[in-house]
Amino acid sequence: MHDIDLDREISILKYLLEQIAVLEMYTNDFDEDIFLRDIRTKDAVLTRLIVIGEYGPRINDILKERFNEIDWIALKKARNFYAHVYRGIDWILVWNVIQNEIPLLKGQIESVIEILEKENNGKTN
């Protein structure tokens, strides 16, 4: 791809997957009730969601447009909300994001990485 450092982009995407893996680790043995009562896990999950929202939008704009099945704007908006409105967070909504949106995002990111790695391996230096 022209003027895009695919190594950098893939690195960011893999970092996002690392954050998702940690989210999964934090919540794998939880149900909603346990999550809602566990302040440490809620804080830890929120931190990872903020990191995802911070790094996702760092993807090159051309790639964001190309892979628009990922809602890059929503990632950033969620990050801003979580970082600035802590007291107003709806933890049931956060649980639903972890259970429904994060697995979808994980699959989308894995797909993008696969495509970009194929393209990146075909480059000539």
Range of the domain at 42: 6-111
Q: pLDDT for 59-114, tens place per residue?
A: 999 999 999 999 999 999 999 999 898 788 999 999 999 999 999 999 999 999 99
Query: How many Å apart are CA 78 and CA 112, to the nearest integer?
Result: 21
Q: Is 42 domain-assigned?
A: yes
Pair of tokens at residue 1? 């791809």
Query: How many Å apart are CA 31 and CA 33, to the nearest integer?
Result: 6
Q: Please count the other Cβ atoms lying within 10 Å of the Cβ belonging to residue 19.
A: 21
Q: Is 41 domain-assigned?
A: yes
Q: Is 90 domain-assigned?
A: yes
Domain count, the chain: 1
Does residue 94 contact residue 45 with C-beta atoms inside 8 Å? yes
Q: Is 116 domain-assigned?
A: no
**pTM attached to this predicted model:** 0.91
Which residues are tagged catalytic? Answer: 79
Q: Is 18 domain-assigned?
A: yes
Triad 11, 111, 45: Cα angle to 5°: 65
Q: Is 57 domain-assigned?
A: yes
